Structure 1
């Protein structure tokens, strides 16, 4: 009896002391945010509860700096039954902060600072050095010095060649030319594009000590040296070192001896035909996919070394040309060779590799005239063969089927083309981005990249594609999508973990990756990017996966995706060399980029006095007001005003402008500072102004002024309101001023109280809002929203109001949006022509809001 009693007490104590999993979490970028970059976080709940606002809090003082709207609910995603996307982009003050909601949910701490990405690219080079074959500077020992014996070549099988060097591909010790060449190119491109992102703390052999060269060039040369060994003559090109016999055990690399020839490993010649020494064969059709990558890396290496090391550069250029020739002579895909298991790199494309190789031939040769025109035409021909990387269109892929995961050639070709031709190539990028955006816009993480094997590599590549598109075109409409993919890698994901070992320090990052270094020796593998989440269906069907510890992320696994920080899961938690090299480029870009749009006065300094401007005009006795805002004009006259608001989207702009022009209608457009500073929207704004429409403010940062439930409860100070409004007017000033027009202001979210109206009045501005009674303002809702309204429903509400009410739509302020989220495919603006035709036939006159 005492034993039973003891057990009951013990159970009750355990139930009290063991904390339960949180029902809601806030996921953020653990690495931090630049002050002028997009800043978002995701709130996810394992229940179906909802929230209204969130706070940004100083981590040191617990002072609340901002309280903002949680925005619209995104609904279910993965393990979460409800989710929101928190946007605090308008806050730029450097410091350490956390986010918090009213229910007590709190994010990890994070930094806002211009230096948050400083040193990150160099940190990831640690993993590259640790992956070196031949002499390994981390182990201070050598491995694979006897490689290797040939297979499938023009020489007798088992002929020895010197293939020692290069990088191990992942946590196994296989080495592939296709991934090594791609990694080498990314390292060289990072140095070329962002030289300030790298330091000099290591020698060429990887050991500590400066040598006058950036460490990223030392690492790239290790790759270049091995590529020269794998392409030793004009007609010899090898594709692979080792095969999946490597997977027979976990071991430190120098202990390899499982290939039947002592310490030698097989070296597979690139024949362009199916290969495989055992049961399984690949589907190779040519050599261009490997030859193109090799040529590109060697040609770029030549460009970066020919001044300081002309003899070495000459070798690179010679082999860059011969590899390019092989690619032209043997088009097709050069897949890796399987062994005893059915897995291999199933690359099915090559046009992207040959496009890049052609451009780098053009760059390296310094070609002009007829030769340059010919190469440029050839590159464009390859670009047209694969305008969009196929995994984007297919939303699925076999293992490394479409590799590399981004078409680097498009970016390099666009740089060479005149403006009239560049758009053709950059539009290829845009088309792919729009496909992902259509999927991504439906969930709070903006996740549109599929959960195939090595999903983190795809994510890195897609973020880079967005970056290149933005840099080449100045179009920033996908900046938040780009940032969301970057944030995903560093913690803004369902599991709340960074996928890079040890980055950032003292945060949730992989600790038990699928790696012999960590599993056998507890060696840290700093900077390694792990494969990343896979679909639940993929995980369940893989061979040989066994988890060795309890799953700390169990509440956040789902059929959508799974991720395990467990060395037994090689599908999600194995670091890869080529993925890490791609991330080095992206981190260098993020660090070096000067992401500063036109500055706006958004100071939160409460010491600065608020100086009122010219008092507003008198209240019109014939108009209707609510809490200080004009919401309807004279109901005795048969006229009304169309108003459009805009913040993030402008997809309806051209349609709306064209329709208004057709009917000779003037409207009012109330736009945020973010909208006005978006260079993609500049031509539209200018057109609206030229057409005689009213342009007014909608707040600079789309702030939520007051609580949704307790309307009298302000969420901003007067200083914050004034600073934000003046910043909005500053952005408007870039498009000129209509001195005769009244100063009207339509508040963000169309939500305000008496205080906001009074503050606006002291600024000489009249607050206005839409006339209640119809559903026109619901044209932004999406099918995922519980309050979704179709265009047919909205139009019916307008017709019903007009027919039933005595005054009809007299004096009405009818509000719509200039753009809506992509996942609302039923666009009300597409039916604006229909609406205007009906109302004009009923003898309504449309006037600008400032006239009404």
Structure 2
């Protein structure tokens, strides 16, 4: 016992007995009250370690966040290697970051650790009276982190299939019976069609509502292109996966599943292209809540047949020129894969003819000099650039090469003035920049590469940096730009597509600048960290990837027997929103499946509904990252 403590006790016992009893009672009472307050705070606090639950690449910056409700005056963390039981880091101090959304944030950094293996983190928080131990899920340091995500990203499309039976491809995730076998339209134009039924079965449900969208190049058309892009990025990975064939039956056919899935989509797009050269738009029903096979009766010509999409403000009977170009780009890209790798060689002539025919019917809508004023303009001209590029590679027709080059030059000249990103929920701006960089890298000329290189730093300063450099943006998250202010969250829909598109683009920007700007790579990985669990809810927002997935999804698949959560492997939800615009604070529906059902919207569609566009962007980002890992190794 210290001398000061001895003196304090001497003073206490030198006072009269009655006063001594009173002091003793007060001391005991204070200790009891203090212990009660501490116990209550710990009970109410529930501090959490927020980490990328997939893990970290060996050379990646490695940082976790700790979120607490009450401030802690000291804190340390340990890092343990599970395989050996060794304590790799012990009692390393946490860094206090500050307060955000009513919580206190700390960080722990272990970037220097790069030995592959399984790890766990334990944090000790507290003061002189009590310690609070917090642990996190086991995570990996490995080059192979994203293997599962690469696979689930396209298997989501398999489960979203319309018009055929979907089997249990992923253990624990039931499929569904054949659905919407009466999709189609009667056409009578007096020339090509005489009261003729046009079969429109097939394709993919775009979200949790069974609609089939040809919107914007990020639904069915975008899915085809991105699956082909992913395969071309890492054929060595996808060539190993062959569990089903194009008709959906779980029988291997010596063809990579991702190509079977892309061709399933192409077969549907070919049905939507009419004899008169028109490409049809989206199909939607009454949006009632049923299992997919019960949504319609499957009989052609009855009242419940679905029709071409019409909603107030969203008439989409026919595809627009930009959407037609995305269709042509995806089909031609698949043709290039067939030509190079030999899969589905019997389809090559038809693929060539279909892509050229669609392109020929809509190319006149793209006149130079190109006009573009915002991200929608970028999306339009990117579709034309890509369709022209893929058709040149497929046909060697220099006219396609000339159109692609002119579109590229127009995009580089206009990109910065069009890239404000206002209300760009699906990431058109960043996806456009990514494809411009890819075009330049594939072109290989110093002129093309320099044109894009000269945009990287201005784009960083104008967009990515300014939307992440808030001192309280501890996550490094890509905020939303509006004319007045920058927000973390939209009140209408989550921004996961934007994060994934930005990650994809910034990885390419890092590559084309030869690693000169490491902040580009940090920015890219911060967006992936957010998706995979380093977010305020500690939820990994890709089903069957990471430790903690959403408890419930906004999906009519929740009405399928055996799938009460409405979960689809590989599904990525819209993401966190600002519920009722409350101080830009994150909100995500964490209701468990047994607390309600999709009928009463316990799973909020704005945050918890999966959507094809998110997987389109994910295929690009994950496959590119994997490609770079392979190249480095």
> Residue 460 of structure 1: CA displacement?
1.4
Paired position in structure 2 for 1:148: 184
| Alignment of structure 1 residues 81-96 onto 2, 5 Å | 82-96=104-118
Residues 433-455 of structure 1: per-residue CA shift (max 9 Å, x gap):
44223322331110124334241
Aligned residues: 538
Retained in 2: the 8 A contact 1:299–1:364?
yes
> Residue 134 of structure 1: CA displacement?
1.1
> Residue 374 of structure 1: CA displacement?
2.0
- Is it true that 1:119 corresponds to 2:148 in the alignment? yes
Residues 599-654 of structure 1: per-residue CA shift (max 9 Å, x gap):
xxxxxxxxxxxxxxxxxxxxxxxxxxxxxxxxxxxxxxxxxxxxxxxxxxxxxxxx
Pairing partner for 1:463 from 482, 490, 503: 503
Retained in 2: the 8 A contact 1:529–1:575?
yes
Paired position in structure 2 for 1:421: 448
Paired position in structure 2 for 1:513: 553
Q: Distance in 1 between matches of 2:107 and 2:189?
A: 55
Retained in 2: the 8 A contact 1:300–1:360?
yes
Structure 1 portions without partners, runs of 5+ = 1-14, 269-275, 333-345, 541-557, 599-852
- Is it true that 1:495 corresponds to 2:531 in the alignment? no
Q: Residues 467 and 51 (structure 1 numbering): CA distance in 2 closer, same or farther, change over 3 Å?
A: farther
Paired position in structure 2 for 1:440: 468
> Residue 389 of structure 1: CA displacement?
9.7
> Residue 17 of structure 1: CA displacement?
11
Paired position in structure 1 for 2:485: none
| Alignment of structure 1 residues 167-316 onto 2, 5 Å | 167-178=204-215, 179-198=219-238, 199-233=241-275, 235-242=277-284, 245-256=285-296, 261-267=302-308, 276=310, 279-281=312-314, 287-306=320-339, 307-316=342-351
> Residue 285 of structure 1: CA displacement?
12
Q: Comparing both structures, which one devotes a greater share of its residues to helix?
A: 2
Q: Distance in 2 between matches of 1:162 and 1:401?
A: 32
Q: Distance in 2 between matches of 1:42 and 1:570?
A: 28
Q: Distance in 1 between matches of 2:456 and 2:306?
A: 40
Matched position secondary structure for 2:554: coil
Q: Distance in 1 between matches of 2:538 and 2:532?
A: 8
Paired position in structure 1 for 2:621: 586
Residues 88-129 of structure 1: per-residue CA shift (max 9 Å, x gap):
221011222222333133332211123322233223333211
Retained in 1: the 8 A contact 2:50–2:536?
yes
Residues 5-44 of structure 1: per-residue CA shift (max 9 Å, x gap):
xxxxxxxxxx999983435322111111222233222222
Q: TM-score, normalised by structure 2?
A: 0.75
Retained in 2: the 8 A contact 1:288–1:354?
no
Q: Distance in 2 between matches of 1:347 and 1:240?
A: 21
Matched position secondary structure for 2:263: helix
Matched position secondary structure for 2:262: helix
- Is it true that 1:161 corresponds to 2:198 in the alignment? yes
Retained in 1: the 8 A contact 2:280–2:319?
no
Q: Distance in 2 between matches of 1:130 and 1:24?
A: 36
Paired position in structure 2 for 1:564: 589
Residues 123-160 of structure 1: per-residue CA shift (max 9 Å, x gap):
33332111111113224632122221168989889853
Q: Residues 100 and 433 (structure 1 numbering): CA distance in 2 closer, same or farther, change over 3 Å?
A: farther
Q: Distance in 1 between matches of 2:275 and 2:606?
A: 37
Aligned CA-pair RMSD? 3.7
> Residue 516 of structure 1: CA displacement?
2.0
Q: Distance in 2 between matches of 1:473 and 1:236?
A: 42
Matched position secondary structure for 2:464: helix
Paired position in structure 1 for 2:52: 29
Q: Residues 233 and 151 (structure 1 numbering): CA distance in 2 closer, same or farther, change over 3 Å?
A: closer
- Is it true that 1:20 corresponds to 2:43 in the alignment? yes
Q: Residues 528 and 291 (structure 1 numbering): CA distance in 2 closer, same or farther, change over 3 Å?
A: same
Q: Residues 472 and 403 (structure 1 numbering): CA distance in 2 closer, same or farther, change over 3 Å?
A: closer
Matched position secondary structure for 1:65: strand
Structure 2 portions without partners, runs of 5+ = 1-37, 126-132, 168-174, 368-375, 481-488, 592-597
Q: Distance in 2 between matches of 1:130 and 1:376?
A: 35
Paired position in structure 2 for 1:828: none
| Alignment of structure 1 residues 754-793 onto 2, 5 Å | none
Greater relative contact order (Cα 8 A, min sep 6): structure 1 or 2? 2
Q: TM-score, normalised by structure 1?
A: 0.57
